[in-house]
Chains A and B, each alone.
Chain A
Amino acid sequence: MQRQRIRRTAVGLPVVAMALVLAACSSSTTTGGGSSSGSGSSLSGTLNGSGSTFQLTFQQSAIQAFKAIQPNMTVNYGGGGSGKGRSDLAAGVVNFAGSDSPIPSDEVANFKGKTVLYFPIMLGPITMSYNLSGVSSLKLDPATIAGIFQGKIKTWNDPAIKALNSGVNLPSTPISLAVRSDSSGTTANFSLFLTLAAASTWKLGTSSTINWPSSAHAGNGNGGVAQIIKSTPGSIGYVDYADAKAAGLTFASVKNKSGNFIAPSPSSASAAGSTVTLKPDLTFAAAWSSNPQAYPITYQSWDLVYQKQSSANTTKMLKAYISYLIGDGQKLLTTLGYAPLPANIDSKAKAQLSKIGS
C-alpha cells in the first residue's frame, strides 16, 4: 500500500510543477488595461499595484470607495513592502508601486533610464508606544529615544528619562525593546528620524533593517510589534499610529525641532508635512520637521508610476485612480489613523498628474 502511495505522488509532482509554471506565465500577462472604452468618463480595465504595507489599509479602503466612481475598473494592491513594490515596477509586473522612501541610488539602474513620477499619497506618525503600569503620560526627546533603542538606557527610572518627566513616578522596571523582525519602511523612517535628530548619539545608521541590541523582542509588522508591547510590561517600541490606536496602546509625546513636546496624531503629522522642502520630483522627508506644531517622527509614502505609459487606457486609468487618491480619497485617511497631505504638497501632486502620458 505504501509503495502505491509513493508512486502516485511521483506522478503528481511534475503535474504540480507544470501548473505552477503555467500560473507564473499567466500572472505576468495580467497587467495592462483591458479594452479601451474611448469614452472619457467610464473606464474599464485593471490596474495592479504592490509595495508599501504602510499604504495597504488606505489602498484597500480607497479601492472599495473608488468602485462607486468607476464600477468597471478593477484596482488591485498587494503589499509586500516598498522594496518589492519598486522591483515589481522595474520588472513591469505592476502599473504603480507604493514606496515609503525615494528610489535608492543603487536601484536607479533597474528602471533603465525611464522617468518615474512620485505621487505623495499620505503621511503618518510613528508612535513611541510603551507598556508601563501607572504611567499614562510620558515625554521623550530624540537623544533619549536613541539611548533607549541602543540599549544604553536600561531602566525606566534612568536619569535621562526622569529629567524629561518631572512629577511622573517612574518605576525601576527594566526597559525591553520591541522592534520589527521584518525589513520595513517604518524602521527606515524611524532610523532616519534618529539620524537627523540625534546625530551625535545614534550609531546604528538608517536602514530598513537595523542591527538592534540582541535583547530586543522582534515582531512581524506593526501589528506584531504592538502585540509584543501589549503583552510585555516595561516594553517600548515604534509602531505606526493606526496600529497603535487599534491595539489600544499608550504612546509618548516627543520633543520636536522647536523644542515642543507633541503627541502623535493625524493633525500633528500633517503639520510636519506643511513645512517640508519639496524637491522638484516631489520627494521629501517629513521626519524632524521645523514646524512648531509638528510631530517629529512622521513618515510619508508615495505611489510611483512611469511617466510614459504603453497604452492610452492605462494612462486614463492611472490618472483617474491617482487623482482620486490625492483628491477625495484623502478624506478617508484621518478615520483610518493616517494623515492627509497638507495643501502645499497636495496641489503639487495634482499638478503633476498631467505629466503621465502614453
Chain B
Amino acid sequence: MSTATQADQAAPGSVPARGLTAPRGLADRSFQWLALGAGLLVLVILVLIAFSTTQQAWPWFKTEGLGIFGTVWDPAANKFGATPFIYGTFVTGVIALVVAVPVSVAIALLLTQVVPYRIARPIVYVVDLLAVVPSVVWGLWGILVFAPWIQHIYAHIGSAVDGIPVLGALFGPPTSGASFFTAGIILAFMITPIVTSLSREVIATVPSIDREGAYALGATRWEMIRGVVQPHSQGGVVGAVLLGLGRAVGETIAAALVIGSSPTITSHLFSTGYSMPAVIANQFGESTGVFKAGLIGLGVLLFAFTIIINVVARAIVDRSARRMRGE
C-alpha cells in the first residue's frame, strides 16, 4: 500500500526532468506531434461520426418530430417511436446494475480488505477473464443454455405471484425465456469485471494509515469498512457503477439475442422486450427510407446517452480522486 502513495508523490517529482535547458531533438518533437495527431484523430473521428449519423437520421427527426418519442414502432404502418427501446435499454441497464453492483463491490472489498495479495491475484485474474468472453458468446450461451433453463423458473415465479399487486405486475405472466430479465442478467455478467476492477482500484487508494487508525480504535473489519473505506471510496465506486451502466446500455449483440425482440412497454420483467442497440443490429439489414433513418437516429440517441453517462461517471470519479488527494 505504501508503494502506491510513493508512486503518487513520485509522479509530480518527475516533471522537472523535462525542464533541462538543452533543445529537444527532432525525434522528441516528431513524437510529440505524432502523439498529438493521434489524440486529435480520435476526437475528429468522434465528431465526424456524430455529424454523419445525425445527417443520415435527419429524415426521421424531420418526419416524426416529437413523434420520435412515440410508443409504437411498427415499420409496416410507418410508425417509428423510440420509447419502447429507450424503456428497454433503461430497464435492462437497471436490472444489470441491481444484480452486478453488490457482487462487484463485494468482490472488490474481498480482494482489497479481506484476502492477502497472493490469493487476491488469481481471483482478479478469473474476474478479468469474464471481460474477455466475446459478447456474442454471452448472447449464444444466454439464448441456447441460460434462457431455456431459466424460463421454467420464470414460469413458476410468474404463477406464484400472479394477482399480487406489485409483484404480479413485475414478475407475473406472461413469461418468456428471452426477456428483459434474462438480458439484464447477461449484461450483469458482462459488466461485473469493469465495475469490480474500477472499484478495486478506488478502494485500494484508501490510505493504510486511516485503516490502521480505525483498527487501533478497536473497530472490527466491518466497522473499518463502513467508517473508513466507504466514505473514502463512495464517489469512485459510484463512477465505476456508471461506467458499467454505460457499457450495459451500449451492449448490442448479447442483448439482441436474449431480449426477445418485441417492442413493448410493459412492467412485466419476465416478458419479451427490446433495447436500442438490439433493434439496430436486428433490423438494419432490410430497412429502407425513414425506417433506416429511424434506426440510425436510435444510434444517435444511444450515442448521446452513453456520452452523458460516461461524462458524468468520469466527473464523479475525478472529483472523488481529487478530494482524496486533499485538493
Contacts and interface: CB of A to CB of B under 8 A. Distances in A.
- A in complex with B: yes
B288 A80 contact: no
Contacts, number: 116
Given A2-B201, A191-B76, A217-B176, A81 B286 contact: yes
B77 A216 contact: no
A209 B76 contact: yes
Given A206-B76, A215-B174, A106 B38 contact: no
B261 interface: yes
Interface string A83-113: 1101100000000000000001011000000
Nearest to A100: B286
A220 B282 contact: yes
Interface of B: 7, 35, 38-39, 41-42, 45, 72-77, 148, 174, 176, 178, 201, 256-257, 260-264, 266, 271-272, 281-292
A15 interface: yes
A87 B284 CA distance: 11
Q: Which of A14, A15, A86, A209 has the most CB of B within 10 A?
A: A209
B266 A214 contact: yes
B263 to A, nearest CB: 7
A211 B289 CA distance: 18
A86 B41 CA distance: 31
Given A13-B42, A205-B76, A209-B76, A84 B262 contact: no
Contacts of B285: 53, 80-84, 182-184
B38 A15 contact: yes
B292 A83 contact: yes
Contacts of B264: 214
A83 B284 contact: yes
A3 B45 CA distance: 26
B74 A211 contact: yes
A206 B76 CA distance: 6
A332 interface: no
14 contacts: A14-B39, A83-B284, A84-B284, A86-B288, A87-B292, A104-B288, A181-B282, A182-B281, A188-B286, A191-B76, A208-B75, A211-B263, A216-B272, A231-B148
Given A18-B38, A21-B45, A106-B290, A217 B178 contact: yes
B202 to A, nearest CB: 12
Contacts of B174: 214-215
B191 to A, nearest CB: 19
A14 B286 contact: no
Contacts of A216: 262, 272
Contact of B261 (A3, A185, A218, A231): A218
Contact of A83 (B7, B35, B41, B287): B287
Given A107-B289, A182-B285, A208-B286, A218 B42 contact: no
A18 B42 CA distance: 9
A10 to B, nearest CB: 9
- Looking at A53, A187, A218, the one whose CB has the most chain B CB atoms below 10 A away is A218
Given A83-B284, A182-B283, A208-B75, 11 more contacts: A17-B42, A17-B45, A21-B41, A83-B288, A84-B286, A87-B292, A207-B75, A208-B286, A208-B288, A212-B262, A217-B178
A248 B7 CA distance: 65
Contacts of B256: 181, 220
A143 interface: no
A210 B39 CA distance: 44
A185 B288 CA distance: 12
Nearest to B176: A217
A281 B266 CA distance: 46
Contacts of B281: 182
A184 B286 CA distance: 6
Q: Which 4 A-B pairs have the closest CB atoms?
A: A81-B285, A205-B76, A14-B38, A106-B289
Given A181-B256, A191-B76, A216-B262, A209 B286 contact: yes
A214 B286 contact: no
A14 B41 contact: yes
A205 B148 contact: no
A206 B7 CA distance: 65
A276 interface: no
Contacts of A320: none
Given A17-B45, A214-B272, A183 B7 contact: no
A211 B39 contact: no
B277 to A, nearest CB: 13
A336 interface: no
A231 B272 CA distance: 18
Nearest to B38: A14
B286 A82 contact: yes
A207 B76 contact: yes
B299 to A, nearest CB: 15
A82 B288 CA distance: 10
A53 B285 CA distance: 10
Contacts of A2: 201
A11 to B, nearest CB: 8
A17 B148 CA distance: 39
A278 interface: no
Contacts of B288: 83, 86, 104, 106-107, 208
Nearest to A216: B262
Contact of A211 (B73, B257, B272, B286): B73
A204 interface: yes
A284 to B, nearest CB: 19
Contacts of B289: 104, 106-107
Nearest to B34: A14
